[in-house]
Amino acid sequence: MSEAIARKELEKAGYRFAGKHKHSAVKICEWTKKSLDEGRVCYKQKFYNIESHRCCQCTTSLFCLNRCLYCWRSFKAFLSKDMDKISIDEPHEIIEGLVKAQRLLLTGFKGNEKVDVKRWKEAQDPTNFAISLVGESILYPKISEFLEELKKRGASTFLLTKGLTPEKIKSLTTEPTNFYISLCAPDEQTFIKVDRPIFKNAWTKQMESLELMRSFSCRKIIRLTLVSGFNLKNPENYAKLILKAEPDFVEPKAYFHVGESQKRLSREDMPSMENIRSFAETLAALTGYNIKNEDLASRVVLLSKN
């Protein structure tokens, strides 16, 4: 499939591209929609006090280093070239494009009688950018400048990475508000089977990134996306890796049988809330972290270092 056709399919799926080089994209998060028309909010609002209706789910890089079994996104989104070898947009161009595209995507909510007009108006100006839509945003060569520009605009940020490029993590000159590493395997064998990296030594790279996490002064979070029968196991190994990184929070979270992952996994692979609670309790006992909160709708538990 050509890149042009793939982009058209992504647009049909709700993606919108930002910037003239189209390596950045935005898609309205389901929780942003639910916040507007149902009054329900994402667990990030519950845990970290962001506003779901003012959150922009985006990416600066449609290039990924994994083909994770549990990913709900379409692999058609991924660029075939290295981010360092393509023409890129400036941070302010991307941000303006993301906001403009998000506003267009939210247009239809204005006439919905279930939507509070005040909240809809607030949603036109995002105050949080979840840089986790698809791909590896940290690969964008000007990610530090991008974070700095958002900081100047008074927006908070969530930067999610699989941690396969520790050199990019080292080179960050501006930290996000929230720095996430997605850790979804307790050992290398499971990592290769579940995360399916596209290059060798990816596990070693992720281990380097976990050690680098300790040096960050922003809020540090490790997310475990857990799949029954695949990586919902060996809590002792996960605990060792958590203690290596010393994050402020850990989020054991259930895989959901949605999107493209339905082609690779079954509904039986989706853990129950009870499964996640039990695993979180074991992790808490092994790490000394405390269970601070949970969210049933997203089947996630929040473990806190303090």
- Whether 58 shows a pLDDT value over 60: the answer reads yes
CATH 1.20.1560.10 fits 3-304, yes or no: no
pLDDT bracket for residue 79 (50, 70, 90): low
Q: Starting from the edge strand earliest in sequence, which strands make up the sheet with 249-254, in order?
A: 16-18, 24-26, 55-59, 128-131, 156-161, 178-182, 219-226, 249-254, 300-304, 290-295
Is residue 76 within 8 Å of 25, Cβ to Cβ? no
Residues 127-171: pLDDT tens digits? 999 999 988 999 999 999 999 999 999 999 999 999 999 999 999
pLDDT recorded at residue 85: 81
pLDDT recorded at residue 259: 87
Is residue 195 within 8 Å of 206, Cβ to Cβ? no
Domain positions in the chain are 3-304
Which residues face 59 on adjacent strands? 25
pLDDT bracket for residue 82 (50, 70, 90): confident
pTM, to two decimals = 0.95
Which sign does the torsion angle of CA 85, 20, 57, 290 carry? positive
The 3-state DSSP class for residue 285 equals helix
pLDDT recorded at residue 304: 98
Q: Left, alpha or beta for 162 (phi > 0: left; psi -120 to 50: alpha)? A: alpha
